[in-house]
């Protein structure tokens, strides 16, 4: 049956989205910033919403693929319609997500850099040993060292919290490293969203064609049959 390769592709796509969502939610870089961020910072809300959206989207795509496959085997119009509804539901979720990526392209970057700025300034004021530990963890995770000043040189913050070999001119600016890391990740996410949109459109077309095929073949099968009385 021709539907099985497509079913496998949709299942792999759903698993890819679920995997990426899990990495984004539980990855070291993201959880570190999320745990440090304050309630007034928007990053923690975005962090959790992105995870739940990705999981729901992956489940919807996998369910749509399974329904389409079952509809093909059983030639059921009801299952085909349910598969089309799942693809349409996924499409309606993907389009706003892609639009949000364009309209709020810098919101996630700004919120993550705001978290780093806050922790850095807290350590510079020497107000909390906990903040010093958090800043050290950020430096180790992103392999960076403080914020580079246009006047050059390092402060006691960098000397106390940067990993060995990152202090001074050898260390990378953390704000730049956070921005570069997140842009690469968001580009990958956007590429996966684009692929998912294309496949959901293809899935809707496929299920529509399947529904009409089952409908008309069912009518042709009944045509010409008579009951003798």
DSSP 8-state code for residue 104: T
Q: What tens digit of pLDDT does each residue of 119-137 get?
A: 998 888 876 788 899 999 9
The answer to the question of residue 184 being in a domain is: yes
Q: What's the maximum distance between 2 C-alpha atoms anywhere in the chain?
A: 102
Domain with 67, as residue range(s), is 3-120+172-223
How many residues are there in the chain? 229
Q: Which residue is it, tokens 């329904």?
A: 67
Which region among 29-33, 61-65, 99-103, 193-197 has the lowest average model confidence (pLDDT)?
99-103
The answer to the question of residue 219 being in a domain is: yes
CA pair distance 115, 53, nearest whole angstrom: 23
The answer to the question of residue 15 being in a domain is: yes
The answer to the question of residue 203 being in a domain is: yes
The answer to the question of residue 200 being in a domain is: yes
Model's pTM, two decimal places? 0.82
Please give the tally of structural domains in the chain: 1
CB–CB of 138/227 below 8 Å?
no
Rounded average pLDDT over 6-25: 90
More confident residue, 58 or 226: 58
- Mean pLDDT rounded to a whole number for the chain: 84
pLDDT at 229 > cutoff 80 = no
The answer to the question of residue 108 being in a domain is: yes
The answer to the question of residue 135 being in a domain is: no
Q: What would the two tokens of residue 96 be?
A: 């706003």
More confident residue, 200 or 164: 200
The answer to the question of residue 12 being in a domain is: yes
Rounded average pLDDT over 27-31: 92
Among 57, 63, 66, 64, smallest CA distance to 87 is for 64
């Amino acid at each position: 049956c021709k539907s099985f390769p497509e079913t496998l592709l949709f299942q792999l796509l759903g698993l890819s989205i679920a995997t990426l969502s899990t990495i984004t939610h539980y990855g070291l870089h993201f959880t570190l910033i999320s745990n440090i961020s304050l309630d007034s910072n928007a990053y923690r809300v975005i962090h959790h919403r992105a995870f739940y959206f990705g999981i729901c989207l992956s489940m919807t795509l996998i369910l749509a693929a399974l329904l389409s496959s079952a509809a093909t085997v059983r030639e059921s119009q009801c299952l085909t319609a349910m598969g089309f509804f799942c693809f349409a539901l996924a499409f309606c979720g993907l389009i706003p997500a892609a639009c949000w990526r364009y309209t709020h392209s810098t919101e996630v970057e700004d919120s993550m850099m705001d978290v780093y700025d806050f922790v850095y300034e807290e350590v510079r004021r020497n107000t909390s040993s906990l903040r010093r530990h958090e800043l050290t963890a950020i430096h180790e995770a992103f392999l960076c060292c403080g914020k580079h000043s246009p006047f050059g040189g390092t402060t006691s913050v960098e000397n106390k919290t940067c990993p060995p070999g990152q202090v001074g001119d050898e260390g990378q600016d953390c704000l730049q490293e956070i921005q570069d890391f997140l842009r690469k990740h968001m580009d990958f996410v956007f590429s996966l969203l684009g692929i998912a949109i294309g496949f959901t459109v293809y899935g809707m077309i496929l299920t529509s064609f399947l529904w009409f095929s089952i409908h008309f073949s069912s009518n042709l099968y009944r045509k010409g049959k008579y009951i003798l009385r």
